[in-house]
């Protein structure tokens, strides 16, 4: 019997008795309840970074420093572990960024786990800061409106990365450095119009399957295709609702302590 035939039979036998690898699940214990998050294998850079941070205990005792009801809850500022309720948070992480991994089939339904980021041209993610979507239930009219918002974000992204627009952006940066307020205002107006009218990209349409989910459990669709999603809550959606009801100040900072007690990788 040929060797390659024996090897094939052995492979088929082993795959029939050995379990396939399962998506990684993370238990998130908060002072408002426990959630189970499943990480996406399609975003390996974000998945592996999150696993590393969970195993290192980076998230243990951090606060949810930004909460917006009917939108999302955000955590991961490493300064929040020892911060008071009056400290300004949201600007700290571990100092590196993760390249964007924006996957078309991932969308901002309720429970989606996303990577926070600055407004950088690469859409690279914060090393530690993340958000979990609460959102709200949508109808077709709202979804159409959000589809337009998605494409506005995409137009801005592609415009800022278009080499043809570099001279204008360089001039705007130079005017800001020179503190020439009149020129800054003029160039900003010109850039706003150019990015709004930018059309050299394929416009995004919300898939019907995504629309149905948004119309049933809700979410925040305007962020689709612009932020990396790398997991979702598969147990404990009610905890998100509990977190979202916490009173906040004008900066969306909770006025009472909302804390991650611990995170761990489930076997």
CATH (domain of 63)? 2.40.100.10
pLDDT at 10 (0 to 100): 46
Angle at 228 between CA 166 and CA 265, to 5 degrees: 145
* DSSP 8-state code for residue 136: B
36 is a domain residue: yes
**Helices marked H in 18-65:** 44-56
pLDDT at 21 (0 to 100): 75
pLDDT at 99 (0 to 100): 98
* DSSP 8-state code for residue 248: B
241 is a domain residue: yes
Burial grade of 142 (CB within 10 A; 0-12, 13-18, 19 or more): middle
pLDDT at 37 (0 to 100): 98
147 is a domain residue: no
Q: Domain containing 250: what range?
A: 24-138+217-265
What is the C-alpha to C-alpha distance for residues 174 and 165, in angstroms, rounded to an integer? 14
172 is a domain residue: no
pLDDT at 20 (0 to 100): 53
150 is a domain residue: no
pTM of structure: 0.89
203 is a domain residue: no
1 is a domain residue: no
Alpha-carbon dihedral sign for residues 71, 215, 101, 114? positive
Contacts 24+ apart (CB under 8 A), 52-57: 53/128, 54/26, 54/263, 54/264, 54/265, 55/265
* Contact (Cβ atoms closer than 8 angstroms) between residue 156 and residue 195: yes
Return the residue matching tokens 């295709």.
Answer: 225
pLDDT at 18 (0 to 100): 45
pLDDT along the chain (267 residues), means of 10: 46 46 94 98 98 98 97 98 92 97 97 97 97 98 98 96 96 96 97 94 97 98 98 98 96 96 97
229 is a domain residue: yes
pLDDT at 3 (0 to 100): 42
Contacts 24+ apart (CB under 8 A), 177-185: none
Distance from CA of residue 174 to its chain's centroid? 32
As for how many domains the chain has, the answer is 1
């Amino acid at each position: 019997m040929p060797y390659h035939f024996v090897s094939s039979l052995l492979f088929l036998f082993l795959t029939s008795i050995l379990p396939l690898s399962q998506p990684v699940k993370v238990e998130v214990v908060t002072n408002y309840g426990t959630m189970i998050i499943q990480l996406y294998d399609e975003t390996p850079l974000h998945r592996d970074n999150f696993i590393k941070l969970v195993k290192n205990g980076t998230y243990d005792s951090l606060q949810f420093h930004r909460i917006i009801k009917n939108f999302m809850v955000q955590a991961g500022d490493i300064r929040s572990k020892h911060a008071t309720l009056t400290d300004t948070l949201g600007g700290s992480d571990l100092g590196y960024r993760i390249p964007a991994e924006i996957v078309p089939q991932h969308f901002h339904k309720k429970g989606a786990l996303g990577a926070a980021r600055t407004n950088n041209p690469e859409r690279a993610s914060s090393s530690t800061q993340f958000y979990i979507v609460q959102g709200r239930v949508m109808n077709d009219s709202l979804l159409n409106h959000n589809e337009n918002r998605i494409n506005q974000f995409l137009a801005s992204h592609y415009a800022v990365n278009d080499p043809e627009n570099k001279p204008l952006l360089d001039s705007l940066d130079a005017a800001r450095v020179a503190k020439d307020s009149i020129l800054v205002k003029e160039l900003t107006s010109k850039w706003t119009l150019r990015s709004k009218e930018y059309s050299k990209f394929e416009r995004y349409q919300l898939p019907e399957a995504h629309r149905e989910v948004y119309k049933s459990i809700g979410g925040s669709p305007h962020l689709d295709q612009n932020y990396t999603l790398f997991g979702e809550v598969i147990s404990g959606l009610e905890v998100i609702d509990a977190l979202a009801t916490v009173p906040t100040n004008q900066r969306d900072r909770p006025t009472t302590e909302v804390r991650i007690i611990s995170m761990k990788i489930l076997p």
